Amino acid sequence: MFLGDGMGVSTVTAARILKGQLHHSPGEETRLEMDKFPYVALSKTYNTNAQVPDSAGTATAYLCGVKANEGTVGVSAATQRTQCNTTQGNEVTSILRWAKDAGKSVGIVTTTRVNHATPSAAYAHSADRDWYSDNEMPPEALSQGCKDIAYQLMHNIKDIEASGVIMGGGRKYMFPKNRTDVEYDMDEKARGTRLDGLNLIDIWKSFKPRHKHSHYIWNRTELLALDPHMVDYLLGLFEPGDMQYELNRNNVTDPSLSEMVKTAIKILNKNPKGFFLLVEGGRIDHGHHEGKAKQALHEAVEMDRAIEQAGTMTSVEDTLTVVTADHSHVFTFGGYTPRGNSIFGLAPMVSDTDKKPFTAILYGNGPGYKVVGGERENVSMVDYAHNNYQAQSAVPLRHETHGGEDVAVFAKGPMAHLLHGVHEQNYIPHVMAYAACIGANRDHCASASSSGSPSPRPLPLLLALLPLGILF
């Protein structure tokens, strides 16, 4: 499963044009890897208590199969955000857990912290997505026995049978408070955060069987030096917090998303029972929140490269691949730009109202709102093609917001046809589980001998006979 955080349809289209333009084409006619998937659906993203959702409630939907309140992960809507004492008894399990329980290998690869909202719904049950470590939790929640998300990452899925992969950022949440970071030794913000003094890397290692090969790595060089055939368990934490934007990436210390995916699949697909892998392009969302469309779109293009990478290593005969987003953003592009116009370029005319030029890309709200001398800023005076240029917005906000419209779901492989039409977001993991014959609903699955591939019962015949029965 590939999850583009904040990758709404307008982002997909703009990323497609960018991908083409990076290859010196006009761009519009380019095909993203996800464009090549034969089935497409729309996903309704609202949370149980929010029309415009967040990444935590939505992650619970597309990983655990139930909608939830915003800000909560791996719990039903009976759990109220920040209320630790509403957690117990309301935990819900994820497709990752269902896969693990079926003996499959499982993996999480993300460009955010591995304990961030999206990945955390795969393994944690938390009334608040912000409880990255115990340092971020209120004393009340700690005294009521709730555990932070990094702790749950290491403890909740520790007994993976064959192989497992965790890659992304979030190193600081694994180490005791004030422990110096291995990469940024002068940076106080990169230091360990844990009040309980635990070293979660050591704990992760201690849970792995002695006869298996487990590796903890923290930089790209180590990742590329690994022999995946000799690795059963991999924990890669490449930054203290989120990973760098792809455009800012350090090619020595930070792997790209597609490099992480390549290694992850090599490790996971050794398991004859198969695997579940969650890949998150997690910083598309961050680029948009900052109003930095160029950062967001390069993140989306890199996720598409990761999808291509996975496509070369798997077969549609036995692998269901689903690409979707958790929610959209108030990101748009327009202005009657001609074919091949730089996606970061200007519309071909000036405004007929304030007589100033405008970029094709705009945000409905966000930090790019700029008034100069009582008027909208003249963008021809600024470098609007800069990596960190903040596109103009209609309403000033420090952080641009999510959008509320449906997002696309692209699917290929077994049972991919179940993903067409308009669906509630929480339908998605049930399709993946149905295709893989894992989880609670396995009535359609053949006996264990037929290698786990689904074989539907003759239900249509039964239904056809019923009206006859009524007639007679």
Task: Cite the active site residues.
Answer: 55
Touching Zn ion, residues 240-299 (CB under 5 A)? 285
Q: Which is nearer to Zn ion, 304 or 400 (CB)?
A: 400
What type of residue is 5? D
Contact between 246 and 255 under an 8 Å Cβ cutoff? The reply is: no
| Residue appearing with tokens 């930095």 | 292
Known binding residue 5? Answer is yes
Which residue lies nearest Zn ion, judged by its C-beta? 285
Rg from Cα positions in the chain = 23
128 carries a ligand binding annotation:
no
SS3 276: strand
280 is in an annotated binding site: yes
Based on CB atoms, which residue is closest to Zn ion, 287 or 452? 287
| Cβ(219)–Cβ(238) below 8 Å | yes
**Orientation of helix 257-268 relative to helix 293-313, angle to 10°:** 30
Q: Which is nearer to Zn ion, 285 or 299 (CB)?
A: 285
Smallest separation, CB 234 to Zn ion (Å): 27
Nearer to Zn ion, 311 or 364 (CB): 364
Please provide the size of the chain in residues: 472
Taking the CB of residue 362, how many other CB atoms lie within 10 A of it? 21
Size of the site for Zn ion (CB under 5 A): 1
β-bridge partners, 9: none
Per DSSP, what are the bridge partners of residue 168? 237
Q: Taking the complex as a whole, how short is the minimal distance between the CB of residue 242 and Zn ion, in angstroms?
A: 12
* Distance in Å, CB of 326 to Zn ion, minimum: 8
Q: Is 23 annotated as a binding residue?
A: no
Euclidean distance between CA atoms 143 and 334, whole angstroms:
52
116 marked as binding residue: yes
Q: How far is the CB of 155 from Zn ion (least distance, A)?
A: 27
Residue 211 is labelled as binding a ligand: no
DSSP 90-118: -B---HHHHHHHTT-EEEEEEEEETTSHH
Instruction: Decide whether 239 or 285 has the Cβ nearer to Zn ion.
Output: 285
Q: How far is CA 419 from CA 108, 158, 318, 319, 443, in A?
A: 23, 32, 17, 15, 20
Shortest distance (Å) from residue 330 CB to Zn ion: 11
Binding residues: 5, 116, 118, 280, 285, 289, 326-327, 402
Binding residues for Zn(2+): 5, 285, 289, 326-327, 402
Binding residues for Mg(2+): 5, 116, 118, 280
Binding site for Zn ion (CB under 5 A): 285
